Structure 1
Amino acid sequence: MTLQIAPLRRACSVLPDEFYSTCQALGHDPELAARPEGHETYSLIPDLPTYRSFLAATQEQREKRSAQFFNPGIRLRSRLGQGLHDRGEASVFAVHSLTEEDRAALDVHLPLHMRTLSIAHKYVPPGETWDVSVRGDYWGLDDMEELYVTLNIGTLELGAGARVVVQGNVLVMTVQSMFVATPRAQYQIGILPTPHSVDYGSGPMRGADGAAGGPGANGRDGRALDTQETLIGPCAREAVRPELLCGTAGQPGSAGQHGRRGRNGGACKLADITLRALEGSVEVFAQAGSGGDGGDGGAGGDGGHGGAAVAGPALIGGKVPDGQAGAGGDGGAGGDGGAAGGGGIASNIYISVPGHAVPQVSYTALPSEPGRPGSAGPGGAAGKAGRAAPHTPHAPNGQAGADGRPGAVGRSRRAPWVFINEIGPEPV
């Protein structure tokens, strides 16, 4: 089949048969694919073998990938929920036999939700970014569901400083001819993390700060007895209760709340990129998301001040003992800082190009970075003792509240492994 396409910059007038056969596999109309916006659909893929049929990788390529698919970073999480997804991807992008247990667990995630696009020619203007990502809200899904993007591109032309990125989707991108203008951006294809955390927490990436503790109430001051002068001397107008002369103790401040944990960074998902022809050079960048910062611990509340004492009056029949000052209240403990969120996880990235074009392809793959631990909340200040009456001992001040502890340090996670023509960073 041949389809005449109006030339647009570097567009090919006749595209290879693979472009049209992929259109057919994706259910796309080649006439619509020839339009500037291409033919886009949002598909439900019933099973993994059907998804495998959209790959440009041959059986031989998939067999070669099997030797290194489960590299150290992926083996480390084999017992986690992500390990199940890894094994499912290995059965598609490499050669791996799933157990009956894994098949049953993966069935829960079927059908797969995939954005598909066939476009005969895509031009990304200078300095612009073509973001091919899809989010779950199209299907009414939450952010935890794995989503897929499949691109069938005839010619892809990047203007000076232009790039293509995907954020946290499994990507299959097949390009018949790619042209990269100079000067180039720092990278031309970005395999970036989801713009949200994929852990099972909730809320923003940064953990919430702990609330400050409330101050303790000040103690009540002592009061003088109600007295009157008589012909024989002073006497009380009320019952003589020495405790009325005493100040009461200040109340302790309450503890600051702990800061909340930062969330884990977004995941950098698997990508399978096939470039049948390449003019210029391409840098692929891949890194999972940074973890969120832990929230700061709340400050402890200050201790309340003790009440002042009052001197006892001299009455007929003797002197009333002086009152005692109230002790200061203790400061509340500071809250602990929240733990830093760990960096996001990453999956393998496969790049296939003609052998002569391998020197034109480079990549930068970086480990994900953890967040910053939350700061410890300071302890509350000690309450001061009340003023003592003359010739009576001073009451003790309160004790300052203990400072909280800093949040736990987060974890970095390994960089994605990038394979160019099935050759990885540590060939077997």
Structure 2
Amino acid sequence: MSAPPEAPLRASGLGEPLPPGLQAGFLDQAARLGHSAAALLAGRTEVGYPVIDSVAAARDLVPVTPEQRRRRQSVFFAPEIALRRSIGQGVHDRLEAAVFADGWIDPTDETGAGRHFPFPAKATSVLRRTVAAGECWDVSVRGAEFGLDDLDDLLVFVNVGELVLEPGAQLAVQGNLLVLVVQRLVVTAAAGDGPDDFHLGILPTPFSVDPRRNRERAPDGLRGIDGVAGTHGRTARTTPTFVGLRLLETPVAGAADGLPGTDGTAGTDGRPGASGGPSKLADIYLGDISMAAGVRAVVVRAGAGRGLAGGAGGDGGAGGRGGDGAAEVSAVAQHVPAGRGGDGGVGGDGGRGGPGGTGGISSNVFLTVRPDQADRVEVRALSSAGGWGGRGGRGGAGGAGGAGGEAAAVNGPKALDGPEALNGPEALKGPEALNGTDGADGKDGNDGKDGRSRPAPPTYINEVSAET
């Protein structure tokens, strides 16, 4: 990047031509990206897809001085970055250190690194760009533009001579590696204090890239199967005779009892949530920061996404109702007592809620500014929260016990004339003791645990850790 101009800070750069030094820096970066200087000076936007077939080719496109590389290497593997050295992300980190700092590719990483080349990249250069009030200039690129899926790393170069942010305007990237070179940044209004208030945003992918999980929504558990109702008791068969009812068969012990309902089955567990979308490495150069009166700082927001919520546990199935007992039978010289109602089935337990996904991972953010303007940049680096645990399923209701069999009729014959008040009831219910027992309700499933958070991205202004 060109040497900073000696001119004092302006309240606004609008309408002012770029100083020769800043314009030369803009055209130098455009030449690195293969863009036409004549087209850019004529006011056209140049877009290209540079071929990056090696680490050396990538290093040539990034305007990092040897001294900056040395200083960056000393801070590149902060504890939160070093912690993942042994997993696949560690290969990415070491590859990024070789491109943006002073790292080198370990021989054991060559196979893993080689499959990333040619590295997919998109480059945009424009001499002047005004982002209108309330607009977000999203410079992200998605894998479909390269015939890839969204699990692949993609690199975005944005080269701007003068970038003007009107009130509420933002520039953001979502989940791509970013090299942003702005020779003059003009900020016309302060950003608010909310998490979505910023001027420059290093944001996560708007989706999870977790290959182990459903990347949109963790599936809920399935509901348990309801129990089957018990069959009713069988009433003894009779036939009328001139002396009264006679049984047609020898009573079978227990035949008059209703059978119990079967138990409901448990709901299945909800599935774990996927990890949050990652935020990737960003390398930002601001040659000159020009702010309107009342603007204290350029706000840079960086951080990965919240983990996805776990799926809800399935509800337990209801217990089956107990069968009713058969009615009492009084026959000549024989008696079959009323049957007992069957017990209700037990409700199935609710499934456990799925655990929430972990917060997304973040990578380094490097900001290069004029030393006398370092206090004009405010970094808001945020940790990524874990996803909420899924709700446990509700236990299924226990099945109702079957009713006990009715007592035999004790009314006198209708031909007898007695006061109605003296007649017995037509059908006496069996004693409550014959009713089946209601089944117990199933237990509610436990809620899933919330996912764990991950640290905020390490951020540096001129290779010095930024207070967040």
Could you say which TM-score interval applies, normalised by the shorter chain?
Answer: over 0.9
> What code does the residue aligned with 1:9 have?
G
Unaligned runs of 5+ in 1: 1-6
| Whole-angstrom distance in 2 between the partners of 1:40 and 1:23 | 10
Identify which range, 281-290 or 317-326, moves more after superposition. Answer: 317-326
Offset from partner CA, 1:103-133 (integer Å, 9 cap, x none): 2111112111111011111111122111110
2:319 alignment partner in structure 1? 303
Q: Which has the larger radius of gyration?
A: 2
Q: Any residues of structure 2 matched to 1:13-412 within 5 Å, and which?
A: 16-34=23-41, 36=43, 38-184=45-191, 186-237=197-248, 240-280=251-291, 281-389=297-405, 390=430, 393-412=434-453
> What code does the residue aligned with 1:165 have?
A
1:3 alignment partner in structure 2? none
> What code does the residue aligned with 1:330 have?
V
Number of residue pairs matched? 420
- Alignment check: 8 A CA contact 1:121 1:154 kept: yes
Structure-2 change in CA distance of 1:34 and 1:257 (3 Å) = farther
Structure-2 change in CA distance of 1:48 and 1:205 (3 Å) = same
TM-score (norm 2): 0.85
> What code does the residue aligned with 2:103 have?
H
| Whole-angstrom distance in 1 between the partners of 2:257 and 2:41 | 92
Q: What root-mean-square deviation, in Å, do the aligned CA atoms of Structure 1 and Structure 2 show?
A: 2.1
SS in 2 for 1:291: coil
CA shift, 1:323, in A, is 2.2
2:15 alignment partner in structure 1? 9
SS in 1 for 2:63: coil
| Whole-angstrom distance in 2 between the partners of 1:257 and 1:136 | 36
CA shift, 1:204, in A, is 4.6
- Alignment check: 8 A CA contact 2:282 2:366 kept: yes
CA shift, 1:332, in A, is 0.7
- Alignment check: 8 A CA contact 1:38 1:117 kept: yes
Identify which range, 380-389 or 14-23, moves more after superposition. Answer: 14-23
SS in 2 for 1:16: helix
| Whole-angstrom distance in 2 between the partners of 1:211 and 1:32 | 60
Offset from partner CA, 1:157-180 (integer Å, 9 cap, x none): 112221110111000111112111
**Which one of the candidate residues 442, 451, 457 is aligned to 1:416?**
457
Structure-2 change in CA distance of 1:10 and 1:310 (3 Å) = farther
Offset from partner CA, 1:18-72 (integer Å, 9 cap, x none): 3223222211112333455510113441112111111111011010011111101
- Alignment check: 8 A CA contact 1:242 1:323 kept: no
> What code does the residue aligned with 1:28 have?
H
Identify which range, 223-232 or 104-113, moves more after superposition. Answer: 223-232
CA shift, 1:224, in A, is 2.0
SS in 1 for 2:71: helix
> What code does the residue aligned with 2:151 have?
M
- Alignment check: 8 A CA contact 2:261 2:319 kept: yes
Identity %, equivalent residues = 40
Offset from partner CA, 1:353-382 (integer Å, 9 cap, x none): 111111211111111111111111111111
TM-score (norm 1): 0.92
SS in 2 for 1:274: strand
